Structure 1
Amino acid sequence: MSYATALKRAARHNPAWKAASVFKVAVEESGAAVLDASGEFQYDLAEDTYALRDFTQEERFTLHQPYDGDAALTVITANDPNSDHLILWEGQFHKILEVLGADALRGTVRYRVKALPQDEAVPIRHSIIL
């Protein structure tokens, strides 16, 4: 059993961790990204997991930029950190703005994310893990 799998088992019974899904950019067999009719990336489900909103104080502050609604989100995953993924957490899709770090045992990744508007459609090609 991997470290990430053990963390998922523990998180399932901890109310602080909420169910999340990680979606990756869909690719064809040739390796090219799959686009929809409007030229947007399509996404495939990569992993069902758990995530935790990190309320710890941010390490960096920028005075020249107003707060834009982003948050730190820690995700249990065995996948490599990737800023092209989307995260469905608490019923809302979140775009990854920055990879903040990962643990050495490949169990969690900490991202800075921003929620997408509720009315913005996300093109999902497969919502099951293939």
Structure 2
Amino acid sequence: MNAPRRTKFYLDKQNKKWLGVCSGIADYTGLDVTLVRIGLVVLTLLGGFPWTLIAYWVAAWMAPVKPHELYGQDLEEAKFWQGVRANPTRTARDVRSRFRDIDRRLADVETYVTSSNSRLAQEIEQLR
């Protein structure tokens, strides 16, 4: 069985008020769900009356329900995937930057440990 795609729009049935479209949009974009709901109501009242409801129903009809496996992710992981959906190139660049930083710090640790540091050598000998 395939793992659910984290970059896809899903209806969020656990956080729904009506059909889960607004909570799905909020989950997909990273916006607060209350802001999305208020925005939908304001847009509907300011002249988009039949079209916003039609778009809401079409989204509810066409979008799949969010798989249960995706509800257990922590906040940092959810923010990461929202960033991937918003700008995949920037996210890949950020990941490469993090790996370069980790690699640099590991090289610094390796240099420190393998250098001729007599104090460090004495501390290691005392631990034995």
* TM-score strictly above 0.5: no
Higher RCO (CA-CA < 8 Å; seq separation 6+): 1
Question: Which band: TM-score by shorter chain?
Answer: under 0.3
Q: Which has the higher strand share?
A: 1
- TM score, norm. by length of structure 2: 0.23
